[in-house]
Amino acid sequence: MNINTAPGNTRNVATFFGQPENVSRHSMSSREIAELTGSTHDNVLKTVRALVSKGVVSSNDTPYIHPQNGQVYREFLLSQRDTLVVVSGYSVELRARIIDRWQELEVRGDLFQIPATYAEALQAAADQAKENQSLRLVILDQEPKVAAIKRLASAGGAICISDAAKQLQVPPSKLFKLMSARRWIFQRGGSKRWTAYQPQINRGYLVHKVTALTPDEQTGADRAAFQPLVTPKGLTRLAELLQEAT
């Protein structure tokens, strides 16, 4: 749980350590949820990622450095609302632990203490440096992904799914599988051709390229083939979905 407030009694010291007055940050990590509920962190991560994929909770996938081995791992930082959603399927006893923990820290306030001695000031500086290092890890981790998404968003015109896979640097089969599983495209019974789901067209992710075919030999009726094309907006969204799947 991260809750920091700066009452601002000694402005110069608080400012020196980058703690603005009356700042409050509330979040609970997936690691703390695991500790409070007696679950493994992997199981908590699995639950959170499933809820993120459904759009039920916000994605705040963050790297952290393990204090014992110095290795970088992943965790989620969750708001109070998202925390309660994540543990909604847990037993009443486990949910009570989470609620009690939130209330305990809200009442206590976890007030940021202005360093009273030089030793405390050094410790505060060390803690601040550790937090800054974690933030730098987040920035370095996200920077190439953000750049790739911006590049894809600036691309012009709609492209076929195979070309989209090249842009996203994944095998075409993987992209077709993802788009089918996420209900972007489907195959009509007995047909090998892919067709776009209308909701994805409405969202501006896909468009249909219509190709005229030779008329039906028996009825003479006109025929047409539909090929789903990915728009720049759809390419950006697919890049995000691929990142979430990793």
> pLDDT at position 158, please?
85
Residue ranges in the chain modelled with pLDDT below 50? 2-25, 111
| CA–CA distance, 108 with 98 (Å, rounded to integer) | 15
- 196 and 145, same structural domain? no
- 169 and 106, same structural domain? no
> pLDDT at position 107, please?
67
> pLDDT at position 246, please?
66
- 110 and 88, same structural domain? yes
- Would residue 3 count as lying in a domain? no
Task: List the strands of the sheet with 159-160, edge to edge.
Answer: 159-160, 223-230, 206-213
Provide the residue count of the chain: 246
Q: Which of 173, 165, 185, 190 is nearest to 226 (CA)?
A: 185
SS3 93: helix
- 232 and 185, same structural domain? yes
- 134 and 15, same structural domain? yes
End residue of a domain, out of 130, 150, 170: 150
> pLDDT at position 17, please?
35
178-190 pLDDT per residue, tens: 999 999 999 887 7
End residue of a domain, out of 150, 173, 198: 150
> pLDDT at position 122, please?
72
Quote the pTM value: 0.39
| CA–CA distance, 150 with 226 (Å, rounded to integer) | 29
- 175 and 139, same structural domain? no
- 166 and 143, same structural domain? no
- Would residue 2 count as lying in a domain? no
> pLDDT at position 181, please?
93
- 136 and 30, same structural domain? yes
Residue whose tokens read 């890890």: 137
| CA–CA distance, 78 with 82 (Å, rounded to integer) | 6
- 114 and 50, same structural domain? yes
End residue of a domain, out of 150, 181, 198: 150
- 175 and 112, same structural domain? no
> pLDDT at position 18, please?
38
Domain that holds residue 194: 159-245
> pLDDT at position 92, please?
87
- 114 and 27, same structural domain? yes
